[in-house]
Amino acid sequence: MELLPDNAIEALKNYVDIDNPNNIINIVPDPKVPGVFALQIYRGKYKFHLLWTNDGCGDFDGVEFESWPPTTGDLQFFI
């Protein structure tokens, strides 16, 4: 959890009880984009993925990664 900014940890509490030892939270920072984190969460028998972008919105986006840990690509939004 020490990888995530404080506001991301607070927002994560809306998705999973971070204090429950039965919940597993895996965090991977994007090596190419600072402030972006991929999360894989096991909450009971459910597994889901979230993406955090430190863009000021203060929330996670639900995503589905094809592999874990996810691979980063060469996204070029402005071309």
Q: Give 2-33 pLDDT, tens digit per residue.
A: 889 999 999 999 999 999 999 999 999 988 88
- The tokens describing 29, both together, are 């920072």
By percentage, how much of the chain surpasses pLDDT 90? Answer: 49
Please tell me the predicted confidence (pLDDT) of residue 21.
Answer: 94
What is the Cα–Cα distance from 55 to 65, expressed in whole angstroms?
20
What is the Cα–Cα distance from 53 to 37, expressed in whole angstroms?
7
At 79, the pLDDT band (50, 70, 90 cuts) reads very low
Beta bridge partners of 41: 25, 48
- Mean per-residue pLDDT, 70-77: 66
- Mean per-residue pLDDT, 42-48: 93
Global pTM value: 0.83
Q: Where are the domains of the chain?
A: 6-63
